[in-house]
Structure 1
Amino acid sequence: MIRLPQQNLPKNAQNQLNTWQNEINGLKDYAARVAQAKKAFAQRNKPKNSTFRQVRQTLTQMCCAARRCGYCEDSVADEVEHIKPKDLYPEAVFVWENYLYACGQCNGGKNNKYAVFSDKTGQLREIARRRGAPVVEPEQGEPVLIDPRKEDPMDFLEIDLIDTFYFLPRYSLDSKGYQRADYTIEVLRLNDRDYLVEARKEAFYNYRARLGEYIKKKETDTPSEQLNPMITALQRMQHPTIWKEMQRQQQLLPELKKLFELAPEALTW
């Protein structure tokens, strides 16, 4: 899970989203706004809809690697995900900054799970609406889920590069940062899917091999026009969080320290 680059929609698409959002916001009743938000999104989020074609094209450009999921960085992204669920926040159903391209496993698993730090108590409060429950506005508060459109997840998360290749909270156990990291890991099942953990491990070895190959070429005075494509290819690999973690932990792991000493410029890639 990595910070996604900021990119604006084409103006015509942004204007159309604004128009649709204003239609939802104009409804006075919250339950009516929820119902219309769900209906309108389902109707418009179609391949033939020109606005959502532009939404998907722009989200694709923001993805890591070859259209990888904005949450797990592994599977193909093919669903327009609402970071703040539209069932809870109809005022964000057509808000561009609330969109992320996700895979079905992440989007379906997350579903409408969402939590806030309550404005009243400061405590973490799960606000997902149960089936059949009254459609009332959720409790107000600061979002718990890490938002890669607005935040750098690596400020909250780290990866064990030695053994498990699990995501772990960076903050102390009693902190709000720890709760946010732990909640995000749990809701997105970043450690519960064995294939994700294995993929992160493989990515570590692949990044390390690519860096070693670059160093060998560099030491034979290979010209920059041949080295640059190697750098670009490394930067477009899956699981870029692994690479960023390698850069961050390189002083702690002898094998990485040696590689980065031979190619210190790689710390800026």
Structure 2
Amino acid sequence: MIPLQRGPLPEDLSARLAARTERLADRGGGARELWRDSRTVRRDLSAHLVAMAAGLSRCMYCGDSEGTSIDHFQPIALAPMRAFDWLNHLWACAFCNSNQKRDRYPTDRHGLALLIDPTTDEPADHLNLVLSTGAYRPRTPKGHETILIFGLDRPVLERGRAQAYVRCRSMLRDLARTTAAGERAEAAAVAHALTVQPFADVLYEMLRLSTAPRAALVFGAEAVAGLNLLKGPRSTERGPFRG
């Protein structure tokens, strides 16, 4: 899971969302039905969520599968008046949304969410990614519940992250070598491929750790050089993870 930037919506779409929320208030219910019937709104929202997602329309939770639908972070069953709230919409794959999360929304004793929202939280504050094994370890109760609810400890995801780590190191070395050789087109292609592959959380974690004292020893000097090329003028906090 990586942090994501939520931008503003066009005025027209914001107005349509607000109008539907007003209809809900007037009707006193029926949020699911109104959401299901709002096909054009869902289509337009999906386009903005895809633009926010990492890589090529990746699920904002597992980072592996293609996102397929809008997830209500706070489920409609618990917060029907937030059905059309832009700040409550995330892009998810069918497995994370329908098989894992469903209507689960754990909270602490103050009623605050115990799930990571990647548009407002820094996932690394709550999750520790062990790059060599692909396993997530919780740093906080929010991290623990996020792993549990979204099944981030599924063996297939852990294997996928571990392989992504091997792939990233190799591609970063290629990026450093092609750049040093003046092969600009090839270097640009490698950099783009790095940033749109699944499991963006692996590359994100490598970028985060690239300035650590032992980074060159752990990743290899050429891989660190590739990470520095990827960062360029960008912050290490958010990589260039857009398709």
**Structure 1 residue 181 and structure 2 residue 143: aligned?**
yes
Aligned length: 228
Secondary structure in 2 matching 1:158: strand
> Is residue 236 from structure 1 mapped to residue 196 from structure 2 by the alignment?
yes
Q: Does 1:151 align with 2:121?
A: yes
**Counterpart amino acid of 2:221?**
K
- The 2-side partners of 1:71 and 1:249 are apart by 21
Aligned-residue RMSD, C-alpha: 1.9
Residue 255 (structure 1) shift: 3.7
Q: Which sections of structure 2, spanning at least 5 residues, go unmatched?
A: none
Match of 1:215 among 176, 196, 207: 176
The 8 Å contact of residues 116 and 143 in structure 1, kept in 2 or not, is answered as: yes
Aligned equivalents of 1:249, 1:149: Cα separation in 2: 21
Contact kept in structure 2, 1:211 and 1:259, CA below 8 Å: yes
Residue 142 of structure 1 aligns with an amino acid whose one-letter code is: L
Take 1:169 and 1:15, find their aligned partners in 2: how far apart are those partners?
39
TM-score by length of 1: 0.78
CA contact (8 A) 1:9 1:54 kept: no
Equivalents in 1 of 2:224, 2:159: separation in Å?
28
Within-5 A mapping of 1:164-179: 164-170=133-139, 178-179=140-141
In structure 2, what is the equivalent of residue 195 of structure 1?
A: 156
Q: Give the drift of 1:261.
A: 4.6
> Structure 1: 5+ residue runs without aligned partners?
120-140, 171-177
Deviation at 1:54, TM superposition (A): 0.9
Query: Which residue of 2 is the match for residue 161 of structure 1?
Result: 131
Number of the residue aligned with 2:96: 106
Report how far residue 167 of structure 1 moved.
Answer: 1.1
Match of residue 123 from structure 1: none
Corresponding residue SS for 1:143: coil
Distance 1:214 1:144, change over 3 A: same
Q: CA–CA distance in 1 between the matches of 2:119 and 2:34?
A: 23
1:158 is matched by which residue type in structure 2? Answer: N
Alignment of 1:1-269 (within 5 A): 1-27=1-27, 32-33=28-29, 36-44=30-38, 49-108=39-98, 109-119=100-110, 141-162=111-132, 164-170=133-139, 178-191=140-153, 193-223=154-184, 226-250=186-210, 251=212, 252=214, 254-263=217-226, 264-267=228-231, 268=236, 269=239
**Which amino acid is the alignment partner of residue 188 of structure 2?**
N
User: Is the Cα–Cα contact under 8 Å of residues 10 and 54 in structure 1 kept in the other structure?
Assistant: no
TM-score (norm 2): 0.86
